[in-house]
Each structure stands twice: as structure tokens, then as C-alpha cells.
Amino acid sequence: MSDIDANILRKILKILEDPKYPSIAPHLYLMTLTGLWHPIRSIGAIIKRALFYITVALLFSQYVRIIIKFDNYSLNILLRYAPFHIGVIKAAHFLKNYNLWEDFITYIGTLEQKQLSGKDPVVNKLVNNYINYNRYVTYLFWTMSLVMCNWLISEFYRDSEKEPNVDKFVMFDVYAPFSEQLYAYGALQNLMAYLTGCYIVGWDTLVVAVIIFFNGQLKIAKHYSTNLIDGKNSEVSHKNIADFHQHYITLIKYQKIFNALISPIMFTYLVNVSVNLGFSIIEIFQVIWEFDKDKVILNFMYLIACFIQLLFFYWHTNEVTVQSLNVSYGVFESDWTAADHKVQKEVALICVLTSKRLIFKAGPYYEMTLSTFVSIIKGTYSFYTLLSKTN
């Protein structure tokens, strides 16, 4: 990449930044484009939300079509592109809990602004480290999603050149007044694919960014806990403990709120991706025998993308769980033996408070850890073997 291209890229990325929300500004920018994030009630936001409701209605018509006229083709289309439908569910759930999300996002922005403007160089470095890591993960995810979406859409046109029958080459088998017109119906497919894709990417990367935020803040909490005690001044030690306690319980409060916001969606996604991966594996083996190179590549990319998307969630939530157990170690690393008896009692209470293991859940039963991720892979293989035996 030339210096000119690099400068252009930096200018584009700078547009996505907002000092009000240091770590999650790009995600809010994308969600503003789709109308999901609308702190300012404008005509543009209303139009975008109207477009979302139209998309929901069109997708609902696909289910109506399956109920009225059930056939294997319609069901196969639905199962194959079910993750796009999950994107609409994610967006609808976000809008339903918009006030909670708005309060939560405000908390993140306010806390990070305070920390970045503070005088503690260690905290400043830790915040910048997780923000930079967040950017790498976000832009990698966006690039992967854009490539995958473009490949899926291009399949429509590649197949239509082989056999110009629009009924066989759709991503969304919806009712439309111009469904017999190839290019008009194709344009509708494109629009719905990009819209639902943006809903998915916007929600997913925001969630991953928030999980990275919690991991970074737990590292900061450990730094605070390591420096709680001033052996020469009990008042300073007491103030440090009180400040740390306030910081930590607020973090725990919002972690519980965030877990409640994402848990139902994560459970829906877990079930969907387990089934969808099984179908994808079967289709890969079927098209291998048909010697269709394009379809083999498409299905393999789709399979890998699903695994990566799932790993993004479970890897980072597992990191939060591990890091939450490290906070209490920071208390033991502090100079607590030099404190007076009263401060040592407060330190003991802090040890009990920080010994809590923070977890995220997919539904009421499944913890989002790497062990659960491995279980999903095993379950997908079991589902694949079951389907392959029934075919």
C-alpha cells in the first residue's frame, strides 16, 4: 500500500472516531447508518427505521409462503440463509431494549473519557491498548463480512447466467409484486442482503467491542487493587478502597445488564448456527461429488465464517471470565500487611467481592466459554452424522 493510499485509509477511519465514545465509536457509526442507533430523533433516522420494518415484513412473508405452500426448496433457502434472519432478530431486540443500551453506552463513553483524561499513565495505556485491539478485531470482522456478503450475492448472478430462472437463485424467498422480473427481484435481494448483513455486523461487533471493554476494565481493576494501600497514610488507603469499590460494583452492575441484553440472542444464535453448520457440511460433501467448484468454495467460506464469528464471541467472553479471577490477586499483591487493622478488614471485604467469577450466558444454561465452543463443534458434527444417515 502506497503512502497516499495509507493516508486516505487513515482519513476514512478517522471519520468513524468520536471522542465521546473512545472504544465503540465505529460501531455506533455503523448502527447509525442502519437507523438502529438514533440518539438524535431526525427524519433520516425515521426513514431508516421504516426501512427496517419493511425488511421485517418481507422476511415474514417468506415464512407465510412456507406455511401456505410448503416445499423443500423454500425450506432449504430458509435454512441456508437463516443467519441473515437472525440479524433482523438482533436488530429488533436492540430496538426493543434501546433505553437500556443507551444508558449502557453512555456509561462506557463517560468512564473511558474520565480514564483517558486522568493522570495515571498505566490506566491510560491499558485503555488505549484495548481500544487498539478492538479496532483490529472490528475491521477484520467487517472485511470478512463484506467479502462473504459480496460472494453470496455474486452467486445469484453466476447462477442466473447458467440458467435464467429466478425462482432457483434467491437468498430470501419473499413475496414481491415484481418477483418474475429477474433484475428487479435481484436488486431487492441485494438490498435485503446488505441491510440484514449490516444489522448482523453492527450488533455483533458492538457486542464483541463491549466484551473487550469489560476485559480491559478488569485489567484496570486489577491495577487499582494492586495499588490500594498506602502504608504511610490510612486515609489515602481508605479512599482508594472506597473508589475501587465504587468502580468495581458499577462494572459488575453493567456486566449483568449487558449479559441480560445479549443472552437470549446468543441462545438463538447458538441453536441456529449448530443446525446451519450441519447443513453446510452436508452441502459441501454433496457439491464435491457434483464437481461444482464455485459452490464448494462458497460453502467452505460460509462454514469458516460461521466458525470465526462464533469464536469471536466465545474467545473474548472466556477472556473476561479468566480476567475476572485475576482481580482478587491484585489485592494480595498490594502492600496490605503495612495497613492498620481497620484497613485490613476493608481489604478482606474487597477480596470477597472480587473473588466473584464473571460469566456471560447463551440462554439460561450455557456459559460462553471455550469449553462450550468445543461442545458446539462436537454437537455440529453429531448433527451432521445424524442428517447424513437420514439422507
Over the chain, what HEC string results? CCHHHHHHHHHHHHHCCCCCCCCCHHHHHHHHHCCCCCCCCCHHHHHHHHHHHHHHHHHHHHHHHHHHCCCHHHHHHHHHCHHHHHHHHHHHHHHHCHHHHHHHHHHHHHHHHHHHCCCCHHHHHHHHHHHHHHHHHHHHHHHHHHHHHHHHHHHHHHHHHHCCCHHHCCCCCCCCCCCCCHHHHHHHHHHHHHHHHHHHHHHHHHHHHHHHHHHHHHHHHHHHHHCCCCCCCHHHHHHHHHHHHHHHHHHHHHHHHHHHHHHHHHHHHHHHHHHHHHHHHHHHHHHHHHCCHHHHHHHHHHHHHHHHHHHHHHHHHHHHHHHHCCHHHHHHHCCHHHCCHHHHHHHHHHHHHHCCCCCCEECCCEECCHHHHHHHHHHHHHHHHHHHHHC
Which residue would you say has higher pLDDT here, 329 or 208? 208
Residues with Cβ < 8 Å from 21, sequence gap 6 or more?
Answer: 28, 105, 108, 109, 112
pLDDT of 166: 43
Mean pLDDT of 371-384: 76
pLDDT of 236: 84
pLDDT of 288: 59
43 belongs to a structural domain: yes
6 belongs to a structural domain: no
76 belongs to a structural domain: yes
- Domain tally, the chain: 1
Contact 245, 347 (CB under 8 A): no
Q: Is the pLDDT of residue 365 over 80?
A: no
Report which listed range, 109-113, 232-236, 348-352, is most confident. 109-113
10 belongs to a structural domain: no
pLDDT of 155: 63
pLDDT-wise least confident of 71-85, 154-168, 244-258: 154-168
pLDDT of 7: 62
pLDDT of 168: 47
pLDDT of 64: 83
> Cα–Cα distance between 291 and 220 in angstroms, integer?
54
Average pLDDT, the chain: 81
pLDDT band at residue 2 under the 50/70/90 scheme: low
Contact 306, 280 (CB under 8 A): yes
pLDDT band at residue 389 under the 50/70/90 scheme: low
Q: Is the pLDDT of residue 96 over 80?
A: yes
| pLDDT one-digit tens code per residue, 257-302 | 999 999 999 888 887 777 777 666 766 666 655 556 666 676 677 7
pLDDT of 83: 74
pLDDT of 317: 93
Domain coverage including residue 385:
15-390
9 belongs to a structural domain: no
273 belongs to a structural domain: yes
Burial of 231 (C-beta count, 10 Å sphere; 0-12/13-18/19+): middle
Residue 40's identity, in one-letter code, is I
1 belongs to a structural domain: no
pLDDT of 188: 79
Which residue would you say has higher pLDDT here, 149 or 263? 263
pLDDT of 375: 81
Burial of 42 (C-beta count, 10 Å sphere; 0-12/13-18/19+): exposed
Name the percent of the chain lying above pLDDT 90: 27
pLDDT band at residue 167 under the 50/70/90 scheme: very low
Mean pLDDT of 201-220: 94
Mean pLDDT of 171-197: 75
5 belongs to a structural domain: no
Mean pLDDT of 138-151: 83
pLDDT band at residue 178 under the 50/70/90 scheme: low
**Can you give the pTM of this predicted structure?**
0.88
